[in-house]
Amino acid sequence: MAVPEAAPRKHMGDYDVIVIGGGIIGAMIARQLSKLKGRFALLEKESFGGFGVSKASLSQIHLPDFCPPGTLKGKLVREAPTRFKKLAAELDVLYREVDELWLALDPAQVNNLEAARARAESHGATGFEIISPQRIHELEPQVTPKAVAGLYARGLGVIYTPEWNFALIENAVENGVQLHLQTEVIDIAKTRDGTLRLTTGQGTLTASYVINAAGLYADEIARMAGDAHLQLSLRKGTMLIFDKSVSYAVRHMIFGSFSESHSQNIAPTAHGNLILGVHYVKTDNKTDSRVSREAIQQTLKLGRELVPALSEKDMITSFSGILAQPNMSRDGDFYIAPSENAPGVIHVMVGAPGLSAAPATAEYVVQLLGDAGWRTEEKANFNPRRRGWPRFETASIAKKKQMIGADSKYGHVLCRCEQVTEAEILQSIRRGAHTMDAVKHLTRAGMGRCQGGFCTPFVLKHLADTLGIPPTRVTKSGPGSHQILKITKAVAGNE
């Protein structure tokens, strides 16, 4: 019996460049491409951009003191704070200046401080200063008295990565990039005319060039392109978030010792919490986001070596993130290079500090496209400006009154912990946050002390009402993650 042919997949478009991966790297590349003439697409397998590695990060913007001399990542990180400040103004997103302080807890560790300064200076960074215990405690009164020396650097910062991820994609789309969500690439092939055909769960697309910025899945995209030799080494890290009530305890990004098993780091977040991490364990499971009790205790122990007053009772949540290190690089460097077997494909495989390097990485990728033969030509109508929406929590009293006068929904606070209003929830939904997690990470409703215990039902109702769907169709993070299975009142007595 003849086997029927599979139905042809829907063709979703022909492009000059397709970017695979809607995390912070892919979003930054898409936005950089949107400055140019051409047809561009950004593919993301999740229901919202930045739900992978980008979301589960420390969100810190570094200088190259983490980068060995001669590395590509050191070159790309060198001017990170300046680049992020400029982008923050253009995209109307938060950038908080937070200085950096490395600690030596015994005399033998002073060499670590000197080495960090030497790494930074090898890439042209300046302003690093070795300081005394007295100066350390002037800057950070809660730091351990065991600190014998510190390395002080000014002019760094922290961001809120989900907000940045969304703003970059929104601005790229406004400038002509086509966004395809829930679009997982399952095959890459070369067509007869030399273009690249991408088969996805939603249909097919073609492009002259493909940028592999798929994060944890970049090795799988590389295999589809014939580059099976590109692999990733994975480490899962645990991070803890502390209540804003203890924000006074730490003013800087404070670092201690580093190894393959841990990274002592505690710092303010962009919104005033404290974040502590990272305790690492080796893993082969890219989807393992579990946080064990043991990992929390180990992470807390590392933090208390820097700031003894840290208390578990002030911890409001924990999460894990996976750090992927490409095998083709030396000294922990990035691997950003054309495919060896599929002309037109460029692999972007980065580890830490990938977030800090993201703006320069995007520029570097466009340079590689030019080297590969694509004509990069700027367009005259690129609009770098994107407007966010007013945030009630951080507004002055006068501004809050003005906001409520313009829209009474700003007077209805739905998330008491983070002071998120009904107006902000509705704005996020109207602009593309169509799941519970998307609203949460854009507005921060549900990220405070009660972790959504009060505001979750209100957010769910607004999603259902605004999208015009029943509550049973509202999901946490996309297909298969429905929040409500049945309306019990409606089925009472029928089971």
495 occurs within a structural domain? no
Distance between CA 144 and CA 157 in Å, rounded?
A: 23
405 and 436 in a single domain? The answer is yes
pLDDT tens string 202-219 = 999 999 999 999 999 999
Closest to 100 (Cα-Cα) out of 253, 251, 250, 249: 253
Instruction: Judge whether residue 21 has pLDDT over 60.
Output: yes
Closest to 477 (Cα-Cα) out of 494, 463, 461: 463
What's the whole-model pTM score?
0.93
Instruction: Judge whether residue 160 has pLDDT over 80.
Output: yes
Segment holding 15, helix H or strand E: strand 11-20
Instruction: Judge whether residue 258 has pLDDT over 90.
Output: no
Which among 271, 301, 324 is the end of a domain? 324
Dump the DSSP string for 127-157: --EEE-HHHHHHH-TTS-TT--EEEEE-S-E
Q: What confidence category does residue 479 fall into, taking pLDDT thresholds of 50, 70 and 90?
A: confident
Distance between CA 490 and CA 470 in Å, rounded?
A: 13
63 and 162 in a single domain? The answer is yes
492 occurs within a structural domain? no
82 and 202 in a single domain? The answer is yes
What's the pLDDT score for residue 110? 92
pLDDT tens string 449-474 = 888 888 888 888 999 899 899 988 98
What's the pLDDT score for residue 261? 58
37 occurs within a structural domain? yes
Q: What confidence category does residue 262 fall into, taking pLDDT thresholds of 50, 70 and 90?
A: low
Catalytic hit among 62, 271, 279, 347: 62
- What's the burial of 17, exposed, middle or buried (CB within 10 Å: 0-12/13-18/19+)? buried
Which among 293, 309, 324 is the end of a domain? 324
What's the pLDDT score for residue 78? 93
The mean pLDDT of 260-273, rounded to a whole number, is 85
What's the pLDDT score for residue 1? 32
What's the pLDDT score for residue 275? 95
Here the CATH number for the domain that contains residue 464 is: 1.10.10.1100
- HSE of 186 in the Cβ direction (CA atoms, 13 Å)? 10
67 occurs within a structural domain? yes
149 and 21 in a single domain? The answer is no
| Angle, CA 347 vertex, CA 354 and CA 277 arms, to 5° | 25
Return phi, psi of residue 336, to 5°: -125, 105
pLDDT tens string 347-394 = 999 988 999 999 999 999 999 999 999 988 999 999 999 999 888 988
298 and 374 in a single domain? The answer is no
Here the CATH number for the domain that contains residue 297 is: 3.30.9.10
The mean pLDDT of 312-321, rounded to a whole number, is 92
Instruction: Judge whether residue 6 has pLDDT over 60.
Output: no
83 and 165 in a single domain? The answer is yes
Q: Determine the length of the chain.
A: 495
288 and 418 in a single domain? The answer is no
87 and 192 in a single domain? The answer is yes
| Residue linked to tokens 């491409």 | 33
218 occurs within a structural domain? yes
489 occurs within a structural domain? no
The mean pLDDT of 37-62, rounded to a whole number, is 91
Give the domain extent around 148: 97-155+233-324
What's the pLDDT score for residue 489? 65
357 and 227 in a single domain? The answer is yes
Q: Give Cα separations from 479 to 46, 466, 483 (angstroms).
A: 9, 18, 11
Instruction: Judge whether residue 405 has pLDDT over 70.
Output: yes
The reply to whether 137 belongs to the active site is no
Instruction: Judge whether residue 62 has pLDDT over 60.
Output: yes
Write down the mean pLDDT value for the chain.
91
The more confident residue out of 493 and 227 is: 227
The number of distinct structural domains making up the chain is: 3
226 and 343 in a single domain? The answer is yes
Here the CATH number for the domain that contains residue 209 is: 3.50.50.60
Which among 289, 306, 324 is the end of a domain? 324
Q: Taking every pair of C-alpha atoms in the chain, what is the biggest distance, in angstroms?
A: 85
Residue type, 448: G
DSSP assignment, residue 410? G
Distance between CA 351 and CA 161 in Å, rounded?
A: 16
87 and 164 in a single domain? The answer is yes
338 occurs within a structural domain? yes
pLDDT tens string 334-350 = 999 999 999 999 999 99
60 occurs within a structural domain? yes
73 and 140 in a single domain? The answer is no
Q: What confidence category does residue 495 fall into, taking pLDDT thresholds of 50, 70 and 90?
A: very low
